[in-house]
Structure formats: C-alpha cells, structure tokens
Amino acid sequence: MADRSEQLLFSYGTLQNPVVQLDTFGRLLAGEDDVLPGYTVDYAEIEDPRVVDLSGSSVHPVVRPTGNALDKVIGKALWVSEEELDAADEYEVEFYRRVEVHLASGRPAWVYVTV
C-alpha cells in the first residue's frame, strides 16, 4: 500500500513495462488491477525515438472517452509520487494529456488520454 503522499496513475500501456518504469521512475511501481469505465482504446504511431527505443514499439495505445458506461479499459492503478507524475509527464509525448478520472474501484486516478 502507498503512503498518503502518493497518487494513482492508471496505466493501460507502456507505463506497465518494467524497463519503462525503471528508466522513468528509477524503481518498479506498486499497483493493482483496475478498470477505466467510459473509455475505449485506440492506437497511435509514436515518433519520439527515445520513447520508441525505451518501450520497444512505435505503436502505443491511447484511450479516449466515449461517454458509454459499457466501454471499459483494463489496466493497472500504479502508486506514484508527485515527482513521479512529473516524470510520467516527461515520458508521455505531446499526443497525450493527463486528466483525472474515477476507476471502476471508485478510486480517483490520473490517466493519459488522447488530445
């Protein structure tokens, strides 16, 4: 369990990758399975060579809101500090923006959505 200063970051893609976590945060993150309702997954071509090299792929998932409660994205709720959120912002390319959502578990979390 995280301390009170940590927040949840919902990951549905490369931020679950241990190599990405070690490079971005300097540690492996604790987290639990969770679901993001009202969103669906698409895919986008990423051109940032650093992100492509680190993740091992130029095609990354992106989520977008649908407004339909039946749509859902399965992922992990990762415990991160404020500094680690800043590091995640640096890792994610300009194609994404971070927004606050409520997960199926009822917990608030940050997630990166398509712009």
Model confidence at 15: pLDDT above 90: yes
Q: Is residue 1 part of a domain?
A: no
Structural domain range at position 24? 7-114
Distance CA 13, CA 69 (A): 21
* Least confident stretch, 15-24, 45-54, 93-102: 45-54
Q: Which residues contact 55 (CB under 8 A, 6 or more apart)?
A: 14, 17, 19, 20, 46
Structural domain total, the chain: 1
Task: Report the pLDDT averaged over residues 84-88.
Answer: 95
Model confidence at 4: pLDDT above 60: no
The CATH code of the domain that includes 71 is 3.10.490.10
Pairwise pLDDT comparison (101 vs 56), residue with the higher score: 101
Q: Is residue 80 part of a domain?
A: yes
Pairwise pLDDT comparison (62 vs 83), residue with the higher score: 83
Question: At 115, is the pLDDT very low, low, confident or very high (cuts 50, 70, 90)?
Answer: low
Contact 93, 114 (CB under 8 A): no
Residue spans of beta strands (DSSP E) within 1-115: 7-11, 31-37, 39-45, 59-65, 72-80, 96-102, 108-114
Q: Is residue 71 part of a domain?
A: yes
Q: Is residue 64 part of a domain?
A: yes
Model confidence at 8: pLDDT above 90: yes
Model confidence at 19: pLDDT above 60: yes
Q: What are phi and psi of 69, to 5 degrees?
A: -65, -20
Q: Is residue 47 part of a domain?
A: yes
Q: Is residue 54 part of a domain?
A: yes
Q: Please state the pTM of the whole predicted model.
A: 0.85
